[in-house]
Structures are given as structure tokens and as C-alpha cells.
Copies of this chain bind each other. A is one copy, B any other.
Amino acid sequence: MSRFLSKRLNSLEPYVPGEQPHGKKYLKLNTNESPYPPSPAVLAAKNKEENLQLYPDPDAGLLSEVLAAKYKVNANQIFLGNGSDEVLAFLFQAFCDEDHEICYPDLTYGFYSVFAALFGLKRNEIPLKADFTIDLGDYAFCGKNVLIANPNAPTGLSLKREEIEQILKTNAEHLVIIDEAYIDFGGESSVSLLERYDNLIVVQTFSKSRSLAGARLGYAIASKEIIADLKKLKFSFNPYNINSLSMKAGTAAVLDEEYYCMCCEELIQTREKTKRALRELKFTVTNSDTNFLFAKPDGIKGEEYYLALKRHGILVRHFNTERIRDYVRISIGTPLQMDFFLEETKKILKGSKKMQEVIQK
């Protein structure tokens, strides 16, 4: 720490992203990246963009328009960010303060608490039930802005649209932010609720189903008034936040719906197959609507399993957090990758059971 840092930031505990291995090659099942490359049309679009000496469109007009057409809203209801992390940061900064607190589940995307700390807000974490589901009663008339990842990470579980609607109805004077990073893998999107609820903000990303984590693109869909607020903040922070290359890649991705639907379908099949296989190996596995599985191995601790997989050349994510310490989060790869993962898992379990028998004798 330098002697110049503002005391406001002294106690910040930054977000820790999943490991990005340098050197050794791993099968990376730890950051929920897509195992599929962007579509050929996307690669062609970013290759065609050569006028990089010019500033990008600060309003991201064309990309906003194709997104608006896809979601059947107006372009002035779309706000683009440098990844959905930036969109979420702006949401905290624009709409939350001591008079407008925010609450979210205790087991969810770890960044929410980092944002709360960054903007000097109270951490209002509402415990999930023992089975990791949300108790809707906790959010009814809660008197705060509500932030829910739907489907949730790392649990993989999702709420139905009518459940989201209950939260919206009972919090009409507060914002309800639904982080739909994983929505294309099975959940019910809340976008259609925007017609009736002006307190709804839906956040989505190009990093998962659209295979563009490297391009950094996320967006919010909300009322035009809320989007105007976000733009005001953006134009006070970083007007040209979306670079020209990502803008072109993103536009092509939205237009190439067929390719991405195909990828999602294959991924969902692989997820279901992997889930069944893990359950056969006596794992506890939640019913995930995402591109990952949240799974607890039988007879081996979560951390031990995570470390063993790493030795076997496979990275998954382990959270050293009380309630979920025995679980790991496994991103879904290609069918071949998941076969390899399952093979190595079997070896690890076998080794572990042998060890236990040895110890018990």
C-alpha cells in the first residue's frame, strides 16, 4: 500500500477471479468460460474493423439496436458495459447508498459483497435455505434494493419468472436487479417483465453463452429512465467504455443466433449427462440451469477433491466458505473434456477410498 491511498479504500478486499494458469496446461473448468469458440461471423467482424485510430461510438448505437431488436425493447433501454462486472459496479454506484441499501443471497456471485464494500454499503446477505434455494418471504417488502443472480452462481439453481415477479411486486419502490449471466442455459428470463415493472433491471453478458469472455461485453436492460441514469454515470467515468473491436464482435454474435443456440443445446446435453454420471458416483449435485455443476463428492472433502483434480491437470473452482466448503463448481466443457474429467474423477475417488480403507485397518 502506498502512503497516498485514500483511507476510504484501506480495507478493500478485492474480488479474486478464478485461477488463470500461466505455463502448465490445464483443462480449465474453473471460470465458466464457453468451451466453444466464437462463431466464424464474429471472428470475421472483428477482423474487418481496422479504423482503430478513431474513437468508438460512445453510445454503442448499433450494438444497442441489435440487442434491443432481440429482446423486443427500445435501444434506449439498453446500457452496454465493459463486461457485466462494470455494469454491476455502475448499478451499485448509481442506485445504492445509505438510504438505498442493497441485499442479496449469502451464497452467490462473490463480487456483490466487493461492490458493497467499494461503495461503502452495508453487506446485507440473506441466507439461502439449507437446500440452497431462495426463501421468497425473505425478500417480500424488504425495504431495500434486491440483487439476485438468476440462475444463481455457484449453486446453479434458478427462480421461475413468477417468483421474480413476486419480488418485483412487493418491492415496487426499490430496484430489483436480476443478474442473468447464465440465463441461456435453462432459466426463465425476466426481460418480458420489463413491460410491467419499472423497478426491474436485467443484467446479461456476452461472456458465457456467447463465447466472448475475452471481448468484455455486458449489458443492462431496464426502463429508459434507469438507462439514462447509467449513461449519465458512464459519461462521468469513462464515456468510451466499449472498444470498437468488441462492439463489432458483439453485434455479429447477437445476429448469429443459430450458432449460439446450437452451442447452448450441446452444452446442456453435456451438463445433464455429466450430472447423471456424477450422481452415479454418489456426488450430491444440484439441478443446475447454468453452464456449470455444483457438486459435493462422497467420501472426500471438497478441497481435497479440488487439489486432486489439479494434480490430474484439471482446474475446477473451490470456495473456502463455510456452507459450501464440501462442494466444487465444475464448468461444463465439450463432451470429450467431460469424459476426461469423469475418468480422472473416478481415479481420484478410487485412490481416496483405498486410502480410507488403509487408514481404517
Which chain B residues lie closer than 8 Å to A5 at the CB level?
94-95, 229
Judge whether A213 is part of the interface by a CB distance below 8 angstroms. Answer: yes
Cβ of B238 and Cβ of A83 under 8 Å apart? yes
- Whether A216 and B243, one on each chain, are in contact in the complex, defined by CB atoms closer than 8 angstroms, is yes
Chain A, interface residues (CB within 8 Å), range: 35 or more
Chain A residues 39 to 88 lying within 8 A of chain B, measured CB to CB, are 42-43, 46-47, 49-58, 61, 82-83, 85-86
Interface SS of A by simple majority: loop
CB of B53 within 8 A of CB of A4, answer no
State the CA gap A34–B52 with chains docked (Å).
Answer: 9
Q: State whether the Cβ of A321 lies closer than 8 Å to any Cβ in chain B.
A: no
Q: Report whether A55 and B9 are in contact in the complex, using a CB–CB cutoff of 8 Å.
A: no
Question: Smallest distance from the beta carbon of A219 to chain B beta carbons, Å?
Answer: 14
Contacts of A3 in B (CB 8 A): 225
Is A55 a contact partner of B37 (Cβ separation < 8 A)?
Answer: no
Contacts of A61 in B (CB 8 A): 22
Question: B55 and A95: CB pair below 8 A?
Answer: no
* Apart from A1-B232, A86-B241: 5 A-B pairs, beta carbons within 8 A: A1-B229, A4-B95, A5-B229, A36-B53, A215-B244
> Is there an interface contact between B33 and A229, defined as CB atoms closer than 8 Å?
no
User: How distant is the Cα of A1 from the Cα of B229 in the complex, in angstroms?
Assistant: 6
Contacts of A12 in B (CB 8 A): 232-233, 236
Interface contact B233-A55, CB-CB below 8 Å: no
- Closest residue on chain B to residue A81 by CB atoms: B238
**B-side contacts of A233, CB under 8 Å:** 9, 12, 14, 118
Cα(A221)–Cα(B117), bound, Å: 27
Find chain B residues with CB under 8 A from A244 CB: 214-215
Q: Does the CB pair B58–A17 fall under 8 Å?
A: yes
Report Cα–Cα, A34/B54, bound state, in Å: 7
Contact between A53 and B2, CB atoms less than 8 A apart = no
Tell me the A84-141 residues at the B interface (CB within 8 Å).
Answer: 85-86, 89, 93-97, 99-100, 114-115, 117-118
